[in-house]
């Protein structure tokens, strides 16, 4: 085991000689380098602090965690220091590079099972250590599994790791939606009850699939769609035809990790005892099987970069869109999504017109929906075994959405309008000068058309073929385009860029091809819609008496508690209202849409916070507002100066409690390390 204080790495840039680039992430570039005084090859991760000004907290956390950990399967920083506007993190050089890079270079279809077992066992040991010490890694993926030239495996990148001893609230507010959607556990996406170390077990399961296939499930889709698919579909797994080559124990391991209910997922300790790991071999085996014959890391990285640049040029020619898309980012090996709302909206525009054939995971998911009952969103009893799975999934989803429509008309007094909010999922306001959408004025027909359109956005399981799409239902959808276009986040991509060719096959790396041309870019400022809604209370508002705007949701003044309004007769048991209108609705049909609303709301909230921060920065001062925490600006404005003062005190107290908890954790780790050192010293004294 390495010892933290064996060598003293200098903390001065002039003591290092940077060689070639060996990796690139969202926030950093990684170089091979020489530590001159120690004559040792190291890796240096260079972070541009100016570019990361939003996430200094995250960087601080990463460096802190990296320097405190002490486990052979975790990449520990030798030291770190600031130089100019960069932060340099000096770490052991892992000459094999990441598993993602190895797969991209030599194993595009994934690794063999003994290799996977060996890699995963080492990752699991790292997770066991982290979890036992109160850390959630939160970014477990092949790109963060590094291999040394001798086959040693280390889990890297603590950029998003969090301390489990933080209170749930701090974790949520500070780190909303960090991580990568493909690997992200459903509970992390939902953000309903927080999450714990079991989120890593989900990511671990997804990583297992990534190592088995060469890419993560749903990796061809943009983030918004990945979110929806993860929440709505049955968990991905290894029970598809192409996975015949894998053992039953591997399939069981993956299935155990990819259970939607985190409580039902095993701990890392339990997983480590899984019989699948009987297939694991030695480091040496890894080195021989996955590293032999590979070019040096720098060279591989350069080749990959050139390929990616070519691909980017090709895609640019196709799409002419700099914002595009998750897949390009994935190809570039960059995958830490920041869930920028505008990105998501432009991607949602693409999803709407996505007619792609179902891929393996989709079909798989549909099939499993019959088998499993833990599917979030679609109830298993809806699905008849006789019907082909694709159409089942499609009709289920559409039923769900029309049920949603029923729900809205039935819940006249329900303050959160699911249908309206769902429309809002694809609404980003409009450019200056255009007539704004008026929800009051949306006719029944338009609503249905919108829903039809939205359902297409969400029917990733449907995989309806070209013929079906060109039929009746498709033409009705087409009619809708000019009507509802103004509510949509129109694609930024020019019409001419869309290939009429339908993309086919299992090529998960293909982009969904939008089918309908988009005439203009409707990406408008989010604020516009927010302002409009606030200034022009809709008819529902007046019918509900005093209504307070809370973010996008309206809450009656009768009860402003987070639990919900008391004058709303929403019945959670039936998922509907106890209003006189009978409600034909299963909660499971509405759940996906409500989850979508919830996500959108959260993301919009994030966007508003960002905008407020930006405004605060650009104006330099915001008088009274600056006293109040940014988060609070989204709540009901405090009625008095005293109230504001108290709120600000509460925030300060929360902040210092958080800092104390962090400090305590740091001290705990230090104590443990000192204890270890002491024990070692005692042991060597005895000898």
Ligand X SMILES: Nc1ncnc2c1ncn2[C@@H]1O[C@H](COP(=O)(O)OP(=O)(O)OP(=O)(O)O)[C@@H](O)[C@H]1O
User: Residue positions in the annotated binding site?
Assistant: 45
Q: In the complex, what is the shortest distance from the CB of residue 509 to ligand X, in angstroms, rounded to a whole number? A: 18
**Cis, bond preceding 641 (omega within 30 deg of 0):** no
Give the C-alpha separation, 562 to 568, whole Å: 13
Q: In the complex, what is the shortest distance from the CB of residue 580 to ligand X, in angstroms, rounded to a whole number? A: 53
Residues 105/131, Cβ–Cβ less than 8 Å: no
- 3-state DSSP assignment of residue 29: strand
Catalytic residue among 55, 139, 166, 427: 139
Nearer to ligand X, 194 or 298 (CB): 298
Nearer to ligand X, 144 or 190 (CB): 144
Nearer to ligand X, 142 or 488 (CB): 142
Alpha-carbon torsion 227, 339, 420, 568, what sign? positive
Burial status of residue 500 (CB atoms within 10 A of its CB: 0-12, 13-18, 19 or more): exposed
Q: Tell me the two tokens of residue 52.
A: 């990361």
Give the C-alpha separation, 486 to 489, whole Å: 8
Q: What is the 3-state secondary structure (H, E, C) of 262-286?
A: HHHCCCHHHHHCCHHHHHCCCHHHH
Q: What is the DSSP string of 468-533?
A: HHTSHHHHHHHHHHHHHGGGS---SS-GGGS-SSPP-TT-TTSPP-B-S---S-----HHHHHHHH
Residues 164/203, Cβ–Cβ less than 8 Å: no
Q: Across the strands, what pairs with 83?
A: 86
Q: In the complex, what is the shortest distance from the CB of residue 526 to ligand X, in angstroms, rounded to a whole number? A: 26
Residues 531/240, Cβ–Cβ less than 8 Å: no
Q: Tell me the two tokens of residue 34.
A: 């020489």
Nearer to ligand X, 22 or 442 (CB): 22
Residues 182/227, Cβ–Cβ less than 8 Å: no
Give the C-alpha separation, 276 to 254, whole Å: 10
Report in angstroms the alpha-carbon separations of 340 from 223, 336, 352, 513.
Answer: 10, 11, 19, 22
Nearer to ligand X, 33 or 128 (CB): 33
Nearest to 360 by CA among 326, 390, 333, 391: 390
Give the C-alpha separation, 159 to 58, whole Å: 6
Q: In the complex, what is the shortest distance from the CB of residue 42 to ligand X, in angstroms, rounded to a whole number? A: 8
Q: Tell me the two tokens of residue 575.
A: 């998922």
Residues 220/507, Cβ–Cβ less than 8 Å: yes
Q: Number of H helices and number of E strands within the chain?
A: 24, 14
Nearer to ligand X, 157 or 361 (CB): 157
Burial status of residue 107 (CB atoms within 10 A of its CB: 0-12, 13-18, 19 or more): middle
Q: In the complex, what is the shortest distance from the CB of residue 156 to ligand X, in angstroms, rounded to a whole number? A: 5
Nearer to ligand X, 122 or 157 (CB): 157
Q: In the complex, what is the shortest distance from the CB of residue 607 to ligand X, in angstroms, rounded to a whole number? A: 21
Q: In the complex, what is the shortest distance from the CB of residue 435 to ligand X, in angstroms, rounded to a whole number? A: 42
Q: Considering only CA atoms, give the Rg of the chain.
A: 26
Nearest to 489 by CA among 671, 351, 593: 351
Annotated binding site for ATP: 45
Q: In the complex, what is the shortest distance from the CB of residue 97 to ligand X, in angstroms, rounded to a whole number? A: 5
Residues 143/99, Cβ–Cβ less than 8 Å: yes
Nearer to ligand X, 101 or 417 (CB): 101
Residues 237/468, Cβ–Cβ less than 8 Å: no
Give the C-alpha separation, 519 to 536, whole Å: 28
Is residue 35 within a helix (H) or strand (E), and if so which, with residue range? Answer: strand 28-35
Nearer to ligand X, 98 or 604 (CB): 98
Q: In the complex, what is the shortest distance from the CB of residue 47 to ligand X, in angstroms, rounded to a whole number? A: 8
Task: Catalogue the E-assigned strands of 531-684.
Answer: 547-550, 553-556, 570-571, 576-577
Nearer to ligand X, 87 or 568 (CB): 87
Q: Tell me the two tokens of residue 127.
A: 């997770």
- 3-state DSSP assignment of residue 626: helix
Q: In the complex, what is the shortest distance from the CB of residue 159 to ligand X, in angstroms, rounded to a whole number? A: 4
Q: Residue numbers of the site for ligand X (CB under 6 A)? A: 22-28, 30, 43, 45, 75, 91-94, 97-98, 101, 143-144, 146, 156-157, 159, 333-336
Burial status of residue 558 (CB atoms within 10 A of its CB: 0-12, 13-18, 19 or more): middle
Does the annotation count 541 as an active-site position?
no
* Residues designated catalytic: 139
């Amino acid at each position: 085991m390495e010892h933290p204080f064996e060598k003293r790495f200098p903390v001065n840039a002039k003591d290092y000689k940077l060689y070639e680039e060996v990796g690139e992430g969202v926030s950093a570039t990684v170089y091979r380098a020489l530590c001159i005084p120690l004559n040792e090859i190291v890796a240096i991760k260079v972070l541009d602090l100016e570019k990361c000004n939003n996430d200094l907290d995250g960087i601080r956390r990463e460096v802190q965690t990296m320097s405190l950990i002490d486990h052979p399967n975790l990449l520990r920083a030798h030291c770190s220091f600031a130089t100019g506007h960069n932060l340099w993190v000096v770490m052991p050089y892992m000459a094999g590079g990441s598993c993602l890079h190895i797969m991209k270079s030599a194993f595009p279809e994934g690794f063999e099972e003994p290799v996977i077992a060996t890699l995963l066992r080492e990752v699991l040991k790292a997770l066991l250590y982290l979890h036992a010490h109160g850390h959630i890694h939160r970014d477990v993926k092949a790109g963060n599994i590094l291999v040394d030239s001798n086959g040693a495996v280390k889990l890297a990148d603590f950029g998003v790791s969090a301390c489990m001893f933080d209170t749930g609230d701090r974790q949520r507010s500070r780190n909303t939606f960090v991580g990568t959607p493909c690997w992200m556990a459903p509970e992390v996406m939902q953000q309903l009850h927080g999450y714990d170390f079991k989120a890593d077990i989900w990511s671990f399961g997804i990583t297992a699939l990534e190592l088995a296939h060469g890419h993560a499930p749903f990796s061809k889709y943009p983030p918004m769609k990945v979110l929806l698919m993860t929440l709505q579909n049955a968990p991905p797994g290894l029970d598809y035809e192409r996975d015949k080559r894998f053992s039953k124990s591997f399939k069981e391991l993956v299935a155990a990790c990819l259970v939607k209910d985190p409580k039902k997922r095993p701990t890392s300790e339990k997983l480590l005892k899984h019989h699948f790991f009987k297939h694991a071999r030695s480091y040496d085996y890894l080195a021989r099987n996955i590293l032999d014959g590979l070019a040096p890391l720098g060279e591989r990285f350069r080749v990959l970069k050139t390929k990616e640049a070519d691909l980017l040029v090709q895609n640019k020619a196709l799409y002419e869109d700099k914002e595009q898309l998750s897949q390009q980012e994935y190809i570039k090996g960059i995958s830490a999504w920041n869930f920028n709302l505008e990105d998501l909206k432009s991607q949602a525009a693409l999803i709407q017109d996505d007619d792609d054939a179902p891929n393996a995971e989709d079909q798989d998911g549909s099939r499993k929906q019959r088998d499993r009952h833990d599917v979030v969103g679609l109830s298993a009893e809806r699905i008849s075994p006789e019907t082909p799975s694709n159409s089942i999934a499609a009709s289920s989803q559409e039923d769900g959405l029309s049920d949603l429509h029923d729900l809205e008309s039935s819940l006249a007094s329900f303050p959160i309008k699911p249908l309206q909010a769902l429309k809002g999922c694809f609404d980003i306001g409009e450019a200056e000068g255009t007539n704004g959408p008026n929800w009051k004025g949306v006719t029944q027909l338009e609503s249905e058309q919108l829903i039809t359109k939205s359902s297409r956005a969400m029917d990733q399981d449907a995989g309806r073929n070209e013929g079906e799409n060109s039929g009746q239902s498709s033409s009705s959808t087409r009619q809708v385009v000019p009507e509802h276009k103004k509510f949509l986040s129109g694609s930024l991509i020019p019409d001419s860029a869309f290939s009429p060719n339908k993309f086919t096959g299992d090529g998960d790396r293909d982009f969904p091809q939008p089918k309908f041309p988009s005439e203009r870019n409707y990406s408008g400022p989010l604020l516009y819609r927010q302002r409009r809604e606030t200034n022009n209370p809709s008819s529902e508002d007046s019918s509900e008496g005093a209504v307070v705007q809370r973010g996008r949701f309206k809450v009656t003044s009768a009860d402003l508690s987070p639990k919900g309004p008391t004058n709303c007769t929403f019945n959670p048991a039936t998922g509907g209202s106890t209003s006189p209108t009978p409600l034909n609705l299963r909660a499971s049909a509405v759940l996906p849409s409500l989850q979508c609303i919830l996500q959108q709301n959260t993301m919009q909230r994030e966007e508003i916070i960002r905008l407020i921060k930006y405004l605060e920065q650009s104006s330099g001062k915001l008088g009274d507002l600056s006293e109040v925490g940014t988060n609070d600006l989204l709540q009901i404005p405090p009625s008095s100066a005293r109230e504001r003062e108290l709120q600000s005190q509460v925030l300060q107290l929360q902040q210092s409690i958080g800092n104390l908890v962090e400090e305590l954790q740091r001290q705990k780790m230090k104590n443990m390390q000192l204890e270890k050192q002491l024990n070692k010293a005692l042991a060597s004294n005895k000898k």
